[in-house]
Amino acid sequence: MTASATSIGGFPLLHPVICGSGEPVMTEAGIRAALKAGAAGVIAKSVNENPAGGRQLDKADYMRLDADGAPTAGQGVSLFNRSGLSQRSTEDWFKAVAAIDRDARSEGRFVAASIVYASAEGAVSIASAARHAGLRVFELNVGAPHASEAAAGAIVQETDPDRLADLVRRVRAVTEGMQLWVKLTGLSSNLPALALAARRGGADAVGMMGRFMALVPDLETFKPVLGTSAAYGGGWALPIVCRYLALTRRAAGRELPLIGTNGVRSGGDVIRMALAGASAVEVVSVIMHEGFAGLTRVVTEMDSFLAERRLIFSDLIGQTADSLATYAEQPETPGRWRDFVPPETLAESV
Ligand SMILES: Cc1cc2nc3c(=O)[nH]c(=O)nc-3n(C[C@H](O)[C@H](O)[C@H](O)COP(=O)(O)O)c2cc1C
């Protein structure tokens, strides 16, 4: 057992850095590269049953943005994109993913199947196919950001707790013996209630939160970058995710394992998500910016952080969340605002 070992409920992980679902792991070669780069596990690129979801991939486009929010041909710090789903047949894809999972298992790693939800019937039939293929982990994404812009019905976002509990219950019924992880949207402030609903439905863990939808005006053309609204992520998102992790931990207790995603760019960010309550994290953008070496960098940085301070990763989970106070609990600091305004504001009136 190493200092970075963790687990998602009863499912042990070598360490907390999972390669999340996305284009880098749309192929067998990509999945193997993520494992080779050191990922504790991989969530293979998502499918769904609606052909419109796969067709959307042909209209996908991507732009890296620099620190000023401008499109850049360089590495960039934020990713702005509209995505689509895998165009492989589900049966064929899950068979390939399961074969890699069998190899990964001998090293203590895993490869999971994933669906971006379009309908309850589709989710049930795809979850059954994942189990039939022999996969150990199924991730049900009910909150992909593209739902509002993709063809009607291609991607559905579930933000109603009762409907979500019902959906998860139906998927749980066909995934007996598998890990069922539910990934929630970033476009709702109702995340603690949604997490509780997923748990009620039988989820083993809850992931949060999906990226946000955004519009980026281009200062050269005055047109929208990529021509549409699209999903937007960056390191800036991490503190927002951390707050929802902490609120969810408070609502659901430490027994519900949380997986953090959206904004991890460094080993320090993995630790931050853990302190906010995450047992593990899913990273994708770092790989889109830096290649799979970015994943290795994140794992190495996290290991160094733990080694330098002689810390055990699992001891850190939720520490910051558990000391989160309310405004009302703060001591009074009269006049503190004066330290944060220009001197003119404090000049004597004439
Ligand atoms: C290009 C791209 C494609 C993605 N495709 C999927 C997907 O098919 N299924 C899914 O559940 N999440 C998908 N995601 C979301 C990622 O798995 C991840 O949760 C999100 O990007 C936030 O993490 P990050 O800041 O490390 O990128 C995608 C993200 C990106 C950038």
* CATH code of the domain containing 32: 3.20.20.70
Mean pLDDT by 10 residues, the chain (350 residues): 93 98 98 98 94 88 93 92 91 97 97 94 96 98 83 84 96 97 91 96 97 94 96 95 97 96 98 98 96 98 98 98 96 96 91
**Using CA positions, which residue lies closest to atom 30 of ligand 1?**
22
Alpha-carbon distance of 40 to 337, in angstroms, equals 46
Residue 195 lies in a domain: yes
127 C-alpha to ligand 1 centroid (Å): 20
Give the pLDDT score at 209. Answer: 94
Residues 31, 45: contact at Cβ < 8 Å? no
**Using CA positions, which residue lies closest to atom 3 of ligand 1?**
22
Give the pLDDT score at 350. Answer: 65
Give the pLDDT score at 145. Answer: 79
Residues 278, 260: contact at Cβ < 8 Å? yes
Residue 249 lies in a domain: yes
**Each residue of 282-301: b (16+ CB within 10 Å) or e?**
bbbbbbbbeebebbbbbbeb
State the closest ligand 1 atom to the C-alpha of 62, by its place in the atom list counted from 1: 1
Nearest partner of 99 among 45, 28, 39, 41, judged by Cα: 28
This prediction's pTM: 0.96
22 C-alpha to ligand 1 centroid (Å): 5
326 C-alpha to ligand 1 centroid (Å): 32
Mutate to test the pocket of ligand 1, among 284, 292, 295 (most ligand atoms within 8 A of CB): 284
Nearest partner of 151 among 58, 65, 279, 14, judged by Cα: 58
Nearest partner of 207 among 122, 160, 139, judged by Cα: 139
Q: Which domain holds residue 273?
A: 6-346
What's the number of domains the chain is made of?
1
Alpha-carbon distance of 238 to 265, in angstroms, equals 9
Nearest partner of 164 among 189, 127, 141, 197, judged by Cα: 197
Cα 191–Cα 192–Cα 194 angle in degrees, nearest 5: 60
Rounding to the nearest 10 degrees, give the CA dihedral for residues 306, 309, 311, 316: -80
Residue 1 lies in a domain: no
Give the pLDDT score at 188. Answer: 85
Alpha-carbon distance of 201 to 170, in angstroms, equals 8
State the closest ligand 1 atom to the C-alpha of 183, by its place in the atom list counted from 1: 11
Residue 214 lies in a domain: yes
Residue 175 lies in a domain: yes
**Using CA positions, which residue lies closest to atom 20 of ligand 1?**
262
Alpha-carbon distance of 252 to 63, in angstroms, equals 37
